[in-house]
Amino acid sequence: MLEAPRQALAGEEAWIVGGAVRDELLGRPVLDLDIACRDPERVARAYARLARGAPFPLSDRHGAWRVAFRDGRTVDFTPLRDGIEADLATRDFTINAIAEPLAGGARLDPFGGERDLAGRTIRVVSQSVFSDDPLRLLRAVRLEDELGFRLDEATEGLVRRQADLAVRPAGERILGELLRLSTAGYRRLAELGLLAALGGSNERAERAELVDSPEFRLVAFLGEAALALPISNELRRYARTLLRAEPPADDSPRVIHRFRRATRPWELDALAFVGAERFADAVRAAREREPAEPLVRGNELGLPPGPERGRWLARIEEERAAGTISTREEALELVRRHAR
């Protein structure tokens, strides 16, 4: 992975920085690179030609460029304006403020990042870390969660004091951090005051353990606040389904059918969300019994096209699930008797 960047930067000052160095020292897979150099655009374009990636500006404001590959890997090139030590002083945590010469040689670690890696500690590089970029408040918790590290006392105090800043980053950036958290990570957000700042709460924490899904955790801990984030249309439908779900009153076929109709295809997630997982077996059984074909089609009902057809098809489906009808003839007779 380093051969092409070294060719593109031959003879120039360049450093591998950030998470790539950290993960290498921890023995974790290094999937993405962050390289600090003097001319990110030129180098990114040259590297992209060599490695057959796609270059694009990552930040017009800061002059960073990214080269992306089809397999999901990325290499970022960030500007090295005032030397590597000045660059490292702008980083978030000491474990991310270690630099390694791209051409090879001794690492540079001015803030004791290797010491904190050994101590499994997350410590800010400076007191302005969170005011400079409030997303780092969430990243601090995410790194604790992913690495099994812990904030040092001073950093934790700084997070608590500045928790209200957590809403300031762009929604896309906030969402990216939240979707990487485990249930323990969300609990930690709550403990530090960050979850409340984002509009979430810890009240569904126990239920969040029931479904191993980033999307379920997001809705469980953020609630309605999840809808304010720039989530996909599919995730928005999922969130609204869970938030509107009502627990079944009992496990009768009719009640279970109505619950499934309101929450499909996420019936089991919805049961966990509303604390009604005791009905999971009834929902699974109803799924298994569900007929492959309807008893009748809309154009067979003898009704004009429109909403009325849809209502009767839903009624027929419910009565079939409840066991009151089972044949096409019975379905048509039901409509003849009751349709206006």
User: Are the C-beta atoms of residues 88 and 99 closer than 8 Å to each other?
Assistant: yes
What is the pLDDT, as a whole number, of residue 1?
A: 60
Q: What is the DSSP letter of 151?
A: E
Query: What is the per-residue pLDDT for 58?
Result: 85
pTM: 0.89
CB 119 within 8 A of CB 163: no
Per-residue pLDDT tens over the stretch 238-277: 999 999 999 999 999 999 999 999 999 999 999 999 999 9
78: number of Cβ within 10 Å: 22
Dump pLDDT digits (tens) for 95-134. Answer: 999 999 988 889 999 999 999 999 999 999 999 999 999 9
Give the 3-state secondary structure of residue 108: strand
| Cα(89)–Cα(38) distance, integer angstroms | 17
Q: 3 phi and psi, to 5 degrees?
A: -60, -50
Token readout for 24 is 């290498």
pLDDT level of residue 4 (50, 70, 90 thresholds)? low
Q: Is pLDDT of 340 > 80?
A: no
Residue 156's pLDDT is 98
In whole angstroms, give the CA distance from residue 51 to residue 5.
9
Better-predicted residue by pLDDT, 61 or 13: 13
The model's confidence at residue 302, banded by pLDDT at 50, 70 and 90, is confident
**Choice between 337 and 148, residue whose per-residue pLDDT is larger:** 148
pLDDT of residue 81: 86
Measuring CA to CA, which residue among 209, 174, 207, 172 is closest to residue 189? 174
CA distance 222 to 204: 9
* Structure-model confidence comparison of residues 235 and 70, the more confident one: 235
Q: Do 98 and 21 touch, CB atoms closer than 8 A? A: yes
Residues 6+ away with beta carbon under 8 Å from 268: 211, 277, 280, 283, 284
* Identical topology for domains 1-119 and 120-239: no
From the candidate CATH numbers 1.10.10.60, 3.40.800.20, 3.40.50.1820, 1.10.3090.10, the one assigned to the domain spanning 120-239: 1.10.3090.10
Domain 1-119, architecture per CATH: 2-Layer Sandwich (3.30)
| Average pLDDT of every residue of the chain | 93
Q: Are 316 and 295 in contact (CB under 8 A)?
A: yes
Mean pLDDT in residue range 85-99: 96
pLDDT value of position 136: 98
What's the whole-number mean pLDDT along residues 326-339?
89
Domain ranges of the chain: 1-119, 120-239, 245-290, 294-340
Q: pLDDT at position 150, please?
A: 98
pLDDT at 59: 72
Structure tokens at 272: 């966990």
